[in-house]
Amino acid sequence: MAYKRPDGKRVTRFAPSPTGFMHVGNLRTALYEYLVAKSDDGTFVLRIEDTDQERLVEGAVDVIYQTMKTAGLQHDEGPDLGGEYGPYVQSERLEMYRPYAEQLVREGKAYYCFCSKERLAEVSEQIPGGGYDRHCRDLPQEEIDRLLQEGVPYVIRQKMPIEGSTAFSDLVFGEITVENKELSDQILIKTDGYPTYNFANVIDDHTMGVTHVVRGCEYLSSTPKYNLLYEAFGWEIPQYIHLPLIMGKNEDGSVSKLSKRHGATGFEDLVAAGYLPEAIINYIALLGWAPQDNREIFTLDELSKVFDISGISKSPAVFDYDKLNWFNAEYLRAMTPEQFAQTAAPYFEQAFGKDHGFDLQVLTAMLQQRVTTLNQIPETIGFLAQLPEYDKELFINKKSKTDLTNVPVMLDAVIELVEGMTDWTHDGIHDALIALAQRLEVKNGTIMWPARIAAAGQAVTPGGAVEIFELLGREETLRRLKLGRKKLEEA
Fold of 94-242: Rossmann fold (3.40.50)
Closest-CA residue to 143 (of 117, 120, 115): 115
* pLDDT at residue 3 in the model: 56
The domain limits of the chain are 94-242, 248-332, 335-385, 392-489
* pLDDT at residue 490 in the model: 78
Whether 260 is catalytic: yes
Fold of 248-332: Glutamyl-tRNA Synthetase; domain 2 (1.10.1160)
For residue 222, the SS3 value is helix
Distance CA 462, CA 171 (A): 49
For the 392-489 domain, the top CATH level (class) is mainly alpha
| Whole-number Cα distances in Å, 141 to 112, 148, 158, 188, 369 | 10, 10, 17, 20, 77
Distance CA 256, CA 461 (A): 37
Rounded to the nearest 10°, the torsion over CA 123, 127, 132, 135 is -60
Residue 465 contacts residue 455 (beta carbons within 8 Å): yes
Give the CA count within 13 Å in the CB-facing half-sphere of 232. 26
Residue 216 contacts residue 197 (beta carbons within 8 Å): no
Residue 368 contacts residue 333 (beta carbons within 8 Å): yes
Annotated active-site residue in 9, 181, 260, 314:
260
| Whole-number Cα distances in Å, 368 to 275, 298, 381 | 14, 20, 12
248-332: same fold as 94-242? no
Residues of the chain with pLDDT under 50: 1-2, 491
Euclidean distance between the first and final Cα of the chain, in Å?
A: 88
pTM equals 0.90
Residue 49 contacts residue 16 (beta carbons within 8 Å): yes
Q: List, in sequence order, every residue forming a beta bridge with 46; answer none if it has no partner.
A: 14
Distance CA 317, CA 77 (A): 30
Distance CA 465, CA 486 (A): 19
For residue 417, the SS3 value is helix
83-113 burial, b at 16+ Cβ within 10 Å, e below that, comes to: bebbbbbbeebeeebeebbeebbeeebbbbb
